[in-house]
Amino acid sequence: MTDTAPADLTPTATRHQAPEGAAAQTHTFRLDNGLDVVVIPDRRVPVVTHMVWYRNGSADDPAGKSGIAHFLEHLMFKGTAKHPAGEFSKVVSALGGQENAFTSYDYTAYFQRVAKEHLGTMMEFEADRMTGLVLSDDVVNPERDVVLEERRMRVETDPSAQLGEAMEAALYVHHPYGTPIIGWMHEIEGLNRADALAYYERFYTPENAILVVAGDVEAEEVRALADKTYGKVKPRGARPERQRTREPEPRALRKVTVADPKVEQPYVQRAYLVPSARTQTGSEAYALDVLAEILGGGATSVLYRELVMKRDIAVSAGAYYLSGMLDDSRFLVYAVPKPDISLDALDEALDGVIADFVARGVEPAELASAKTRLIAEMVYAADNQAHLARIYGAALAVGETVEEVDAWPARIEAVTAEEVVEAARRFLVARRAVIGHLAHAD
């Protein structure tokens, strides 16, 4: 099998996944200043993954300032009163460490991966830049150019990414998930030092942060180091509030098209507005996890079997679901047509496959197979400390608990065939959908 899923369909946000209980013994505690800590021991290699997550992402950008969360993430590498610009990176590099940061809709995170004896040094630097950032126009202005180049690279030169943006903007008619994480070009151009500092002072506080350490460490050792570093950061008294609008109940099927001369391989994609693990009222998110796997997880999925293997009208097809969001999330379906098949015909076929699936129900064997794969992912995740750190960090940053993460395999195991069909029947409907076409234009 050759994977031809468009790379741009890869979700930005990390999927909610949990490890097999036996494989990861996590420890959690809270410092006196309100900072949450998760420790995930992995004794196989003498390295640690050190991450700090802030409970703010692009969906918390003030109106008219889209991209500020991401811009600030870049500016966090520009030095503090105590450690001038570049010093942190030089230290990480001299210690043989790796570092980076990323911004998503609901969180922003910073990480270093180093030999375990350097953990304390990383914590000292990371705690320092929680409140000590110093910004001048000399560093802010070139960095804004860097972000503009990043947007040109990721979006302005890539019609697939433009379709993704257009679909999100159409799906979320009121909620800030409709605005790109990196921000709109014209608003990034207007971001300045004062915007960055105002945002920083609002959100970069101990109460708003989560420290995740995975690797060759003991929880008590992390606690002692955290008390000496992060523990010294003054609390603000309360966690900053996220002011999120709620998406209204959708009524209209929306269709968007990006047509561009650079598109030589068209495809269709659709996004359905669905609950997240946080906004579900029952166990819909777990049913949607299983539904995505049955409907669109690989070469044995319903979509692939029907559209690629049986009807021979697509070269690939699949689906995925992003459960780990603070607010209502999306379920995505895509199909890449064979050359003589129109996008409209493929849309019609997709509708047919979903309708047939709802009508026929779920076979016990395909339910069991999907659960096996989903739960196996947890064992595979336990092999990767950096991946584990991201799973726990992302979950806590959207308000889930460690217990919920650890219970995920059991919750998946408990999903019934009826719940899967009900999730499809209820959520994969036209009124909740945006259909996207990536098309060639002459």
Partner 1 sequence: MTTSAVTKTAEQPSRATHRVQRVVSPGGIEAWLVEEHAVPLVALEFAFLGGTAQDGAGKGGTATMLAGLLDEGAGPYDSAAFQQMLADRAIELRFYADRDTLRGSLKSLRRNADEAFDLLRLAVCEPRFDADAIARVRAQVEAGLRHVLKDPDAVSQEQFFRHAFPGHPYGRPPQGTLAEVPAITREDIAGMRSATVARSNLFVTAVGAIDAETLAARLDEIFGALPATAEVAPPADIVPATATAPVVVDIDVPQSVIRFGGPGVARRDADYLPAYVLNHILGGGAFTSRLFQEVREKRGLAYGVHTALLPLRNSTLFTGSTATKNERAAESLSVIRAEIADLLAKGPGEDELEKARQFLIGSYALHFDTSTKIARQLLQIAIDGLGIDYIDRRNDLVAAVTMADVRRAAERLFAGGEMLVVAVGRPEGL
| Residues recognised as catalytic | 73
Tell me which DSSP letter residue 182 carries: T
Determine if 2 is a binding residue for partner 1 (CB under 8 A). Answer: yes
Determine if 261 is a binding residue for partner 1 (CB under 8 A). Answer: yes
Name which of residues 73 to 112 contact partner 1 (CB under 8 A): 77, 83, 86-87, 89-99
Q: Under rule CB under 8 A, how many of the chain's residues touch partner 1?
A: 78
Determine if 121 is a binding residue for partner 1 (CB under 8 A). Answer: yes
Name which of residues 214 to 243 contact partner 1 (CB under 8 A): none
| Token pair 């003589």: residue | 340
Tell me the window of 40-48, 164-172, 197-205, 355-363 that interacts with partner 1 (CB under 8 A).
40-48
| Dihedral over alpha carbons 409, 415, 421, 422 (to 10 degrees) | -110
Q: How far is the CB of 286 from partner 1 (least distance, A)?
A: 18
- In a 13 Å sphere around the CA of 105, the CA atoms on its Cβ side amount to 25
Determine if 309 is a binding residue for partner 1 (CB under 8 A). Answer: yes
Determine if 361 is a binding residue for partner 1 (CB under 8 A). Answer: no
Name which of residues 323 to 352 contact partner 1 (CB under 8 A): 336, 338-339
Determine if 12 is a binding residue for partner 1 (CB under 8 A). Answer: no
Q: How far is the CB of 208 from partner 1 (least distance, A)?
A: 25
Task: Out of 18, 47, 302, 367, name the contact with partner 1 by CB under 8 A.
Answer: 47
Beta bridge partners of 337: 314
Measured distance CA(413)–CA(293) in Å, rounded: 13
Determine if 437 is a binding residue for partner 1 (CB under 8 A). Answer: no
Kindly report the number of other CB atoms within 10 A of residue 30's CB atom: 12
- Reduced to 3 states (helix: H, G, I; strand: E, B; else coil), residue 32 is coil
String marking each residue 131-170 x if it binds partner 1 according to CB under 8 A: ----------xxxxxxxxxx-xx--xxx------------
Determine if 45 is a binding residue for partner 1 (CB under 8 A). Answer: yes
Q: How far is the CB of 193 from partner 1 (least distance, A)?
A: 15
- Reduced to 3 states (helix: H, G, I; strand: E, B; else coil), residue 268 is strand
For residue 112, which of 388, 395, 391, 386 has the smallest C-alpha distance?
386
Strands 314-321 and 329-337, sheet pairing: antiparallel
> What region, left, alpha or beta, does residue 34 occupy, with left being phi > 0 and alpha being psi -120 to 50 degrees?
left
Strands 433-440 and 254-260, sheet pairing: parallel
Tell me the window of 39-47, 161-169, 345-353, 397-405 that interacts with partner 1 (CB under 8 A).
39-47
* Helix (H) / strand (E) containing 147: helix 137-151
Smaller CB distance to partner 1: residue 13 or 336?
Answer: 336
Tell me the window of 163-171, 235-243, 270-278, 372-380 that interacts with partner 1 (CB under 8 A).
372-380
**What is the radius of gyration, based on Cα positions, of the chain?**
22
Smaller CB distance to partner 1: residue 389 or 395?
Answer: 389
Determine if 401 is a binding residue for partner 1 (CB under 8 A). Answer: no
- In a 13 Å sphere around the CA of 76, the CA atoms on its Cβ side amount to 29
